[in-house]
Amino acid sequence: MEKYDFNDRFILNLDTPEALRTHDLHVWYGNNEAIKGVDLQFEKNKITSLIGASGSGKSTYLRSLNRMNDGISGTKVTGEIIYKEVDINAPAVDVYEMRKHIGMVFQRPNPFSKSIYENITFALKRHGIKDKKLLAEIVETTLKQAALWDQVKDNLHQSALALSGGQQQRLCIARAIAMKPDILLLDEPASALDPISTSKVEETLVQLKEDYTVIIVTHNMQQAARISDYTAFFYSGQVIEYDLTANIFTQPQKKATNDYVSGHFG
């Protein structure tokens, strides 16, 4: 398959500075080259969706962006991931520090078996924030940003595990943004949720882009169409097409993209 080049329409549509960029990113699991040289740039304060069939490499690519593939034995990641002009894929980068800037929310809600309050303050305390008033402020702000505050403000010291799946996922979003990352990575964050919880999470993400750059993997094309500004179509470890979401869904330039978005495969 041809190597992907940024298409002219996308370049013309760049209206905000980039938050993150990959250059010639490859990921191998042993001999299986799951990502085959991906160049993408992500715009600040936008939502970008990564779509494509199961096994096309969406999760592998997303996880590489904050080096979640590090330490999986047999895995090799080459190429550059440029954040604030630094290649964060370089061995010398402190991955723990980097993840304060680039946070991740997983497919299944995974709150700690602690109170709602402690779920949000846990990492902050580990980073030395002890001031109770400040912690309480951050809890309130992040729960509001995650559209969960009104439902939990009277039960902050109850177990997070007592929340519904959708509430747990919004708590995980609140926990991720408590560290004030610039970029939030989400891997199918609504796939385990019912439709009402899904739409709450979607509303949350749309609100969050005022403050964050959001990159989301989704196999739900309606979801990508509803919430994202840009969409990248993955096929067999490559990006086939990357454009404004409206263009991807209404006038894709590549046949494979058209086949996928019109439901002919995947």
Ligand X SMILES: Nc1ncnc2c1ncn2[C@@H]1O[C@H](COP(=O)(O)OP(=O)(O)O)[C@@H](O)[C@H]1O
* Residue 56 partner contact from ligand X, Mg ion, none using kind-dependent CB cut-offs of 5 to 8 Å: ligand X
Residues of this chain that interact with ligand X (CB under 6 A) are 29, 32, 34, 52, 54-60, 72
- For Mg ion, give the closer residue by CB, 59 or 167: 59
| Least distance (Å) between residue 70 CB and ligand X | 12
- Choose between 46 and 58: whose C-beta lies nearer to ligand X: 58
109 binds, among ligand X, Mg ion, none (CB under 5 to 8 A by kind): none
Within 244-263, the residues that bind Mg ion by CB under 5 A are none
Question: Smaller CB distance to ligand X: residue 16 or 32?
Answer: 32
If the CB atoms of residues 103 and 237 are measured against ligand X, the closer one turns out to be 237
The residue within the footprint of Mg ion, chosen from 22, 48, 59, 142 (CB under 5 A), is 59
Report the alpha-carbon distance of residue 109 to residue 126 in Å, rounded: 22
Our CB check for Mg ion shows the closer of 60 and 168 to be 60
Q: Which ranges constitute the DSSP H helices of the chain?
A: 8-12, 58-65, 95-101, 116-126, 132-145, 149-152, 165-178, 195-208, 221-227, 245-250, 255-261
Considering CB under 5 A, how many residues would be counted as binding Mg ion?
A: 1
Query: CB neighbours of 123 closer than 8 A, spacing ≥ 6?
Result: 175, 178, 179
Nearest to 104, CA basis, from 160, 63, 164? 63
The interface region with Mg ion, picked from 37-45, 58-66, 86-94, 134-142 by CB under 5 A, is 58-66
For Mg ion, which residue has the nearest CB? 59
Helix, strand, coil: what percent of the chain each, to 5? 40, 25, 35
State the Cα–Cα distance between residues 237 and 55, nearest whole angstrom: 8
Q: 23, 16 in Cβ contact below 8 A?
A: no
Residue 1 interacting partner from ligand X, Mg ion, none (CB closer than 5 to 8 Å by kind): none
- The bridge status of strand 47-51 relative to strand 238-244 is unpaired
189 makes contact, choosing from Mg ion, ligand X, none, with CB < 5 to 8 Å by partner type, with: none
Q: Which two tokens stand for residue 2?
A: 């041809």
Nearer to Mg ion, 34 or 208 (CB): 34
Tokens, residue 235 = 């096929």
Footprint on this chain of Mg ion (rule: CB under 5 A): 59
